[in-house]
């Protein structure tokens, strides 16, 4: 959960990469799984 998210964010920031690139390089998610679970449109705006 939080620990892996922090690892991804720190790696992405340090290496000037996208969150997706960092997550894949860390072996936490595949490209397909990242696209499935990371949905910005569901993270913002009002809840239906």
pLDDT of amino acid 9: 97
pLDDT in tens, 10-38: 999 999 999 999 999 999 999 999 999 99
Fold topology of 2-43: Ribonucleotide Reductase Protein R1; domain 1 (1.10.40)
| 3-state class (DSSP) for residue 2 | helix
| Domain boundaries of the chain, sorted by first residue | 2-43
Residue 46 pLDDT class (50, 70, 90 cuts): confident
pLDDT of amino acid 40: 82
Q: How far apart are CA 16 and CA 27, in angstroms?
A: 18
Residue 47 confidence (pLDDT) above 80: no
């Amino acid at each position: 959960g939080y620990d892996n998210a922090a690892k991804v964010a720190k790696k992405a920031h340090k290496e000037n990469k996208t969150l997706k690139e960092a997550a894949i390089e860390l072996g936490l998610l595949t490209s397909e799984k990242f696209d499935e679970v990371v949905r910005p449109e569901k993270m913002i705006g009002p809840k239906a």
